[in-house]
Amino acid sequence: MDATNRNTALATALVEELARCGVRTAAIAPGSRSTPVALALLRAPAIETTSIVDERAAGFFALGAAQASGEPAVVSCTSGTAAANLHPAICEADEAGVPLIALTSDRPPELRGVGAGQTIDQLKLYGDAVRWFCEAGTHDADDSGLLHLRSVACRAYVTAAGDPRPGPVHVNLPWRDPLGPAPRPEDVTATSDLALRGREEHPLTAVLSAPATPDDALLDELAARIARTDRGLMVAGRLPDPAPAAAIAALARATGFPVLAEPTSQLRLGSHDRDLIVSPYDPIASARPAPLEPELVIRFGDMPTSKALRAWLADLEDLDQIVVDPARGWNEPTRRAPTIVRSEPASLVIALGNRLEAGGDGEWVTAGEWVTRWQAAASAAGELIDDELRDLAEPTEPGAHAALGDLYAGGDLVYTASSMPIRDQETFLRPGPADVRFLSNRGANGIDGLISSGIGAAAATRRPTWIISGDLGLYHDMSGLATLRDVDAPVRIVVLNNDGGGIFEHLPQAREVSRTEFEALFGTPLGLDPARIASLYDLPFARVDDLDELAGLDTTGTTLIEIPIDRRRNADLRRRIADRASAAALAALQ
């Protein structure tokens, strides 16, 4: 603990506990009022800090780091509207269940509401978006004050990590002068070893939770529902942790249930068994073939992005659904699932597999006509998509995701923007053997903060990272590019430049209003030149006018890659492929 003055003692007590609990990454947005906590974070040996001038970018950097590492990350800022700029990242962390600790510094109570500069009301600034809010208060550096800050840190970490559901925590820290480390050792009056040093290598208070494993009665019930089902599916949406993938694939093999796997489920690519992985499920769901209607769906993670799949499942009134949601959210948009299971997915499916195997004869499930039909439909739709993309003369967004899939290597991390990139990735990325981890900000589904989130993930994991964005996503978070100078891992930022909002071309408004009005309100072309943006941030740059050029690019280091796209032609291409792929899937079932 730094006993230079009251503030240094209180701040280092807080940060010591955060580090002992497990915080390893912190984004610091500079400011005067936050000097005590910023210095404590910077000087903490166990915490890797990154200084980011833009608070909005800092918040998303910490969010990406937390999502990639699975551990709470810290973002620290000064008082006033600096704290308000963290709100978008807080909202995403709330909806996506990402462990994030926001440390906002503030004026002390006597300087609030009296015209002091850089002061807003920061009490419960983020409303219900945080799991816990704490006004840390103004305390002396005595035994009580130091123990209070240590306890606040432990509670903030445990709550953010998931007590019970992971998410953001907000600790508001009012600081009186002196803000810097001016020597005033007489201010530190604590005498207790516990207050001064804590428990050395261990947190002041640790919360120990038993793993959420289902009991025998629940396992018996779930196994019985699976065993009596001939037409079952597994649906795998966003699962940031890749650990359950192999166990889910093994249960699919054992049950004979095809797996409709979004890339962010970590099941689309990987070294696990992929024989029953279905990737072109969007055109199949659009066709709604009666022979492929399931009786039971076991769903892991979020509901996949595919609107057609969501609508299809929601309209099957007699469908039995088992939703596995260990994070204690309510990821059930169909509003028809009879069962939500609060259990870690890998342990649940292993236990279910053992249950089913014990009740069978060793060959207790066979593929049968159900799997054969699903595989035939998926194969036909997939081949149609490949044929449509193979001979295109110009770069397209669907083609880009297919081509990028061939470049992803084992160990890579791929952070994908919301809007069209995540949807095209879902539909057009083919399965493959590379162990690649896919992340996205699909809680609030915004496109803001993507660049910073991806860079934060790269910094936290030190894994080679791809960030897949549209030009609007790049525009929203250009300031985040400055953080690349502090990241050792290669970060390849792929900008699908369609000069505007490509997703809006698929809305009814594209046909209902004049083109001039549509471009002004929805298309919003910006005329951005990614080459000039790369030059501004001193980044290597490449422009790809033919997707075959992607394979020849040097992607061993950080670079910004532009793929120019015609927005309207891409919308027409997607509609044509969707219609033909649906027709191909139906024809395969005849």
Q: Where are the CATH 3.40.50.1220 domain residues in the chain?
A: 216-378
Cβ proximity of 289 and 377 under 8 Å = yes
pLDDT at res. 578: 96
Rounded CA gap, 62 and 209, in Å? 25
- The residues, ordered by sequence, that sit 6+ positions from 487 with a Cβ below 8 Å of its Cβ are 455, 458, 459, 558
- Model confidence band, residue 212 (pLDDT cutoffs 50, 70, 90): low
Q: Taking the CB of residue 430, how many other CB atoms lie within 10 A of it?
A: 15
pLDDT at res. 211: 65
pLDDT digits (tens, 9 = 90+) for 437-471: 999 999 999 999 999 999 999 999 999 999 999 99
Secondary structure (DSSP) of 31-56: -STTHHHHHHHHH-TT-EEEE-S-HH
CATH class, range 395-565: alpha beta
Q: What percent of the chain has pLDDT over 90?
A: 85
pLDDT at res. 33: 97
**End-to-end Cα, the chain, rounded Å:** 74
Rounded CA gap, 308 and 207, in Å? 42
Cα 229–Cα 232–Cα 235 angle in degrees, nearest 5: 150
Residues 36/39/42/46 CA torsion (nearest 10 deg): -60
Q: Where are the CATH 3.40.50.970 domain residues in the chain?
A: 6-177, 395-565
pLDDT digits (tens, 9 = 90+) for 509-544: 888 889 898 888 888 899 999 999 999 999 999 999
**For residue 3, is pLDDT > 90?**
yes
User: Superfamily for 216-378?
Assistant: TPP-binding domain (3.40.50.1220)
pLDDT at res. 168: 98
- Model confidence band, residue 361 (pLDDT cutoffs 50, 70, 90): very low
pLDDT at res. 367: 52
pLDDT at res. 364: 40
pLDDT at res. 331: 82
Q: Give the mean pLDDT of 270-274.
A: 95
If you average pLDDT over each of 289-298, 349-358, 519-528, which comes out highest?
Answer: 289-298
- If residue 416 lies in a helix (H) or strand (E), which one and from where to where? strand 413-416
Q: Give the mean pLDDT of 75-96.
A: 97
pLDDT digits (tens, 9 = 90+) for 158-171: 999 998 899 999 99
pLDDT digits (tens, 9 = 90+) for 331-352: 888 888 999 998 889 989 999 9
pLDDT digits (tens, 9 = 90+) for 362-415: 444 445 899 999 999 999 999 999 999 998 889 999 999 999 999 999 999 999
**For residue 323, is pLDDT > 90?**
yes
**For residue 359, is pLDDT > 70?**
no
pLDDT at res. 365: 44
pLDDT at res. 360: 52
Comparing CA positions, the residue from 22, 8, 13 lying closest to residue 144 is: 13
pLDDT at res. 357: 78
Rounded CA gap, 560 and 530, in Å? 8
User: Superfamily for 6-177?
Assistant: Thiamin diphosphate (ThDP)-binding fold, Pyr/PP domains (3.40.50.970)
pLDDT at res. 453: 98
Comparing CA positions, the residue from 200, 202, 271, 266 lying closest to residue 236 is: 266
Q: Give the mean pLDDT of 180-207.
A: 95
